[in-house]
Amino acid sequence: MKACIACPPVAIPKAGQYLLASSGDEAGAALGIPIFIAEGCINGFWTAPPIPNTWSPGTNLDLVGPLGHAFTLPREVRRLGLAAMGDTVYRLMPLTESASQAQRSLTLFTDLPLPSLPASVEAYPIASLAEALDWPDFMAIDLPLQRLGELRAMFGLVDGSRLPFPAQVLITTPMPCAGLAGCGACAVPGRRGWKLTCEDGPVFDLDSLKW
């Protein structure tokens, strides 16, 4: 389930960034939960699912953010690949709109149910990734932290080899303190030490991580 959140334009996160949202009616929700944008709506934005089932139309939310790093696509990209390997494709959907505006070719790789996609977007299963490595100029990936170690095999790469194109990855993992306490629960292995998803991410350059 997703929801349309009414908020000022400055509170709308970019693709990959998150807001901390909490309702005063929810016990134990003082720190809030991370929510991501799926697409814009009138006076706000549609969240990517999931959202708490206790939220209903008219629920007043406290919003903190936007927080974290967003996807940053180089202007020269003409063939954009998207790979959704987590629980939803919606966190990547804002990139389909920006790709359309920039007249980029776009292909989505996922085994998840598909939302309504622009006619210009092609979709293939994750198993097709290994056969498509010569196509993208750039790839945006949505991946749970616990599957980071599987990523090389998903691309059909041998140990130590890298992708033939630059890529950024949105790491999804619980962020209980959202950078407020540096608790380390969302730590990700980087090439130069550990990184925190809540602060250094949630979008990382893939080659900055150990994968």
Contacts 24+ apart (CB under 8 A), 176-180: 176/31, 177/31, 178/20, 178/31, 178/32, 178/34, 178/64, 178/67, 179/67, 180/31
In a domain, residue 73? The reply is: no
* Average pLDDT value for residue range 190-196: 91
In a domain, residue 185? The reply is: yes
In a domain, residue 74? The reply is: no
Residue pLDDT, tens place only, 4-62: 889 999 999 999 999 988 876 655 555 678 999 999 888 899 999 888 888 888 888 88
Range of the domain at 38: 4-67
Neighbouring-strand partners of residue 134: none
CB 113 within 8 A of CB 170: no
Pairing of strands 167-172, 203-205: antiparallel
Higher pLDDT, 24 or 160: 160
> Are 124 and 192 part of one and the same domain?
yes
pLDDT for 60 equals 87
> Are 99 and 16 part of one and the same domain?
no
**Average pLDDT in the chain:** 88
In a domain, residue 85? The reply is: yes
Q: How many domains in the chain?
A: 2
The C-alpha atoms of residue 70 and residue 90 are separated, in whole angstroms, by 15
* Average pLDDT value for residue range 113-138: 90
> Are 15 and 50 part of one and the same domain?
yes
pLDDT for 181 equals 59
* Average pLDDT value for residue range 148-169: 91
Is 80 strand, coil or helix? Answer: strand
pLDDT for 6 equals 92
In a domain, residue 86? The reply is: yes
In a domain, residue 72? The reply is: no
* Average pLDDT value for residue range 185-196: 91
> Are 60 and 84 part of one and the same domain?
no
pLDDT at 168 over 60: yes
The pLDDT confidence band at residue 163, using thresholds 50, 70 and 90, is very high
> Are 104 and 58 part of one and the same domain?
no
CA torsion angle 14 168 87 18 (round to 10): -30
What is the percent of the chain where pLDDT is above 70? 92
> Are 98 and 120 part of one and the same domain?
yes
> Are 93 and 178 part of one and the same domain?
yes
> Are 61 and 119 part of one and the same domain?
no
> Are 35 and 95 part of one and the same domain?
no
- Taking alpha carbons only, the member of 47, 129, 54, 53 closest to residue 88 is 47
* Average pLDDT value for residue range 167-177: 90
Sequence-ordered list of residues with C-beta below 8 angstroms from that of 146, at least 6 positions apart, any chain: 173
* Average pLDDT value for residue range 186-210: 93
* Average pLDDT value for residue range 71-96: 93
